[in-house]
Amino acid sequence: MNDPTLQQATQHFQKAIDHLHHEYGKLQTGRASAGLVEGIEVENYGTRMPIKALASISVPDAKTIAIQPWDRGSMSSIEKAIQESGIGLNPQNDGLVIRLNLPPLTEERRRDLVKVVHQLSEDARISIRQGRHEAIDELKRMEKEKEISEDERIGKEKKMQESVDEYNKKVEELAKKKETDIMTV
């Protein structure tokens, strides 16, 4: 696939998958994950930075996230940012490490998270469709300006549709895996 239009579309599809991975990483599945907190913005010394730029984040066990700031002066800022982030976790500060204990998920909360997973996967599919639409418009423009023939355009559209199908399958697999993770008690 050395065609620039198809390469650009494929890059767009891959960005949608990468974004989906990132968003799934933020979901609280009942198991501790550094991805749950690493992107939370902290106001520290007059600038906003993600927690991962201010501290080491570790997962000592399945229900705990430990955040150890490199500068103890930023502990209260990190604690405040976590409380205001809306992730629903209460930080416990012992002076050296901030610990977040994840409560077990209720059945209702698990079902709500599955709905979020489905919404995120639908957003990824929409993004893939938009990338395909933009590429098809570009191919039609190229055909109209006699840069490619109708047969070339049709062939490239078929290749692109194969790529779209492949990426939609990846989205579906990621969604099923995340749903399984969430529903596993």
**Domains and their CATH numbers in the chain:** 7-25+106-183 (1.10.132.20), 32-101 (3.30.1360.40)
What is the rounded distance in angstroms from the CA atom of residue 52 to the CA atom of residue 40? 8
Tens of pLDDT along 134-146? 999 999 999 999 9
Tens of pLDDT along 60-110? 888 888 999 988 888 888 888 888 877 777 889 888 899 988 877 788 878
Q: What does the block give as tokens for 10?
A: 């494929």
3-state secondary structure of 80: helix
Decide: pTM greater than 0.75. no
Residue entry with tokens 């199908």? 165
